Amino acid sequence: MPGEGLIIRQGFKKPLRSVGSRRLVHFGGRGVVLCGLEGGMAVPAVAPPGRRHRPGDGGTGVGYLTSMPRLTVTRRLTFNAAHRVHNPALSDEENTRLFGKCNNPNWHGHNYVLEVSVTGEPDPVTGYVIDLAHLKQLVERELLDHVDHRNFSVDVPGMAGTNPTSENIILMFWRVLEPAIRPRTLSRLRLWETENNYVEYDGR
Ligand code: NI
């Protein structure tokens, strides 16, 4: 069930009221206030605007307790890079037949668009799954700063010995970004090579 397993490490716990045979309890500490059914999962508490939550305020409702919403947010980023689609194991004729203009030995470039999607529950304090400005900075620092205005065929770390099709590029991107985004969940990458062609990957 989404939301189960949320751990309250800091704070206190006191009963608010009974819900059936179980008590609705109130957790506090470190500025985060959560309510939950005793023995169940915790949910963000509702406080009137302008003041902190107090036990008498109650929670967001029993309905919330069984259905913490999971949402997906996406950041779009652009970069430019060159490549030559080429398989050195094949003859020149075979490479030309398979890849056509994309096999041009003098390279060619693309204006790539990368969409990075993160899935999770909204943070109880910010309401964000992830701050998209923070996600943009992370993707630039960890990945695009090492790719933008480079040549995938010759000077991009992680692509050595790999034919730089969009499929192979997005797999390399996933290997870089998935651990960098943890503990949040990278749920999908979509890479547009042209306005008409894209590839997407969800880690499976
Ligand atoms: Ni190309």
Cis upstream peptide for 183 (omega within 30°): yes
How much distance in Å is there from the Cα of 77 to the middle of ligand 1? 18
CA distance 45 to 47: 6
pLDDT reading at 61 higher than 90: no
Expressed in angstroms and rounded, the spacing between residue 92 Cα and the centre of ligand 1 is 17
pTM: 0.69
Tell me the percentage of the chain whose pLDDT exceeds 70. 67
Domain count, the chain: 2
Distance from Cα 101 to the centre of ligand 1, integer Å:
8
Q: pLDDT digit string (tens) for 88-100?
A: 999 999 999 999 9
Q: Which residue has the tokens 């194991």?
A: 89
Amino acid at 70: R
CB-based contact 38:51 (threshold 8 Å): no
User: Which tokens is 164 given?
Assistant: 């730089």
Which residues have a Cβ under 8 Å from the Cβ of 10 and sit 6 or more positions away?
29, 30
Is residue 2 a part of any domain in this protein?
no
Q: Give the CATH number of the domain where residue 83 resides.
A: 3.30.479.10
Residue 5 inside a domain? The answer is: no
Do the domain assignments include residue 94? yes
Residues 184 and 106 both lie in one domain: yes
Rounded average pLDDT over 37-51: 55
Top pLDDT among 60 and 195 is at: 195
Query: Could you tell me the distance, in angstroms and rounded to a whole number, from the CA of residue 180 to the centre of ligand 1?
Result: 27
The answer to whether 91 and 142 have CB atoms below 8 angstroms apart is no
**pLDDT of 165-176, one tens digit each?**
999 999 999 999
Token pair, residue 64, equals 């919330």
- Per-residue pLDDT, 54: 56
Same domain as 188, residue 129: yes
Mean pLDDT, to the nearest integer, of 142-163? Answer: 95
Residues 6+ positions from 172 with CB-CB distance below 8 Å: 156, 158, 159, 162
> Side chain identity at 32, as an amino acid letter?
V
Residues with a catalytic annotation lie at: 102, 149, 193
Find the mean pLDDT for residues 103-109.
Answer: 95
Q: Do 81 and 47 share a structural domain?
A: no
The answer to whether position 137 is within a domain reads: yes
- Which of 49, 65, 81 terminates a domain? The answer is 65
- Euclidean distance between CA atoms 24 and 35, whole angstroms: 7
> Do 49 and 122 fall within a single domain?
no
Contacts of 96 by beta carbon, 8 Å cutoff, 6+ apart: 103
Q: Within this chain, do residues 87 and 124 fall inside the same structural domain, yes or no?
A: yes
37 plus 119 within the same structural domain? no
Proportion of the chain above pLDDT 90, given as a percent: 63
Q: Are residues 51 and 104 in the same domain?
A: no
Q: Is residue 88 part of a domain?
A: yes
pLDDT given for residue 69 in this prediction: 87
User: Is 18 in the same domain as 108?
Assistant: no
> Are the C-beta atoms of 67 and 92 separated by less than 8 Å?
no
Residues 113 and 188 in one domain: yes
Q: Is the pLDDT of residue 17 over 50?
A: yes
* DSSP tag of 55: G
Mean pLDDT value of segment 120-135: 93
Alpha carbon of 203 to ligand 1 centroid (Å): 23
Range of the domain at 30: 12-65
pLDDT of residue 67: 44
Q: Which of 46, 65, 84 is the last residue of a domain?
A: 65
Residue 27 has pLDDT above 80, yes or no: no
Looking at the fold, whether 20 and 116 belong to one and the same domain comes out as no
Most confident stretch, 58-62, 99-103, 188-192: 188-192
